[in-house]
Amino acid sequence: MAISAGDKVPSTTLMEMTAEGPGPVNSDELFNGKKVVLFAVPGAFTPLCSGQHLPGFIDNADAILAKGVDTIVCLSVNDAFVMGAWGEAQGAGDKVRMVADGNGEFTAAMGLEMDGSGFGLGTRSQRYAMIVDNGVISQLNVEEGRNFEASKAETILAAL
């Protein structure tokens, strides 16, 4: 069963590329005491994710942050090396944190897994975006099928 608005974000360890290599990111530290926008994608370097989803959040980062958001996070069931390289290739810089859910633990705890085996991707995350206030989900927008409307940056910006 998928998590919903009003629920606390699951407590797991994610990974992020640092200057020293992959480093742990505790989800409690990421969300508690902060307002965070997190958007999840099925895969780094995939067409919609690279062409529209991540670029939309990079382009709208200043406007999103101006609404009182502390951090914008991009999450995918990929490893920290891939997420770091993708962020660098897309120019995410300090606008969007590129966080890896390599083992899919956060995605499973959210109840938002997707079977991408038909595309050779295995188990991945569904496409979604959420607003989290002090560790509690205030808004969760999960895409239906292959749609791309509910989780795009402009939709989240309008909801803030």
User: Residue 136: its pLDDT value, please?
Assistant: 98
Does residue 83 form part of some domain? yes
Please report how many Cα atoms fall inside a 13 Å half-sphere around the Cα of residue 27, on the Cβ side: 21
Residue 121's pLDDT is 76
What is the CATH classification number for the domain harbouring 27? 3.40.30.10
Asked, for residue 1, whether it belongs to a domain, the answer is no
**In this structure, is residue 7 part of a structural domain?**
no
Q: Give me the catalytic one of 49, 77, 96, 153.
A: 49
pLDDT confidence of residue 122: 67
The segments of the chain whose pLDDT lies below 70 read 1, 122
Of 91, 38, 101, residue with least CA distance to 69: 38
Residue 81 sits at the vertex; the CA angle it makes with 130 and 96, to the nearest 5 degrees, is: 35
pLDDT of residue 1: 63
- Predicted local distance difference test score (pLDDT) of residue 119: 81
On whether residue 6 sits in a domain, the answer given is no
Could you give the number of structural domains in the chain?
A: 1
Is residue 53 domain-resident?
yes
Is 3 within a domain?
no
pLDDT value of residue 141: 97
* pTM of the predicted protein model: 0.95
CA–CA distances in Å: residue 22 to residues 17, 43, 74: 4, 18, 16
Find the domain containing 66 and state its range: 13-159
d(C-alpha 34, C-alpha 85), whole Å: 26
Q: Tens digit of pLDDT for each residue in 116-138?
A: 787 877 688 999 999 999 999 99
Tell me whether residue 8 is in a domain.
Answer: no
For residue 74, indicate whether it is catalytic. no
